Amino acid sequence: MMWPWKRAAKQIEPRRAANTSVLELDTAKEILAEIFHIRTDDVDEMIQMRLAEQDWGEQKEPRPAIFSLVNSL
């Protein structure tokens, strides 16, 4: 066994830049899987089914561009 300070130095490689949207989506899938006690593959299937149900050609109500949590009195 070698002492830690006598080991050969390794060059540190930079991390790959990760897309934060992909990481957020994966995290959301894991949370849904944990809440509903299902596999992440089942979550993917649920998402695909919901996307297939939507009619992308015409939307009945446009979504607001800005969301506000402040209630106006």
First to last CA, the chain: 72
Instruction: Give the global pTM.
Output: 0.48
Q: What share of the chain in percent tops pLDDT 70?
A: 58
- In tens, the pLDDT along 22-54 reads 888 889 999 999 998 999 899 999 889 888 887
Given a cut of 60, is residue 15 above it in pLDDT?
yes
Can you give the pLDDT at residue 31?
92
Query: Is the dihedral angle over the CA atoms 7, 8, 12, 13 positive or is it negative?
Result: negative
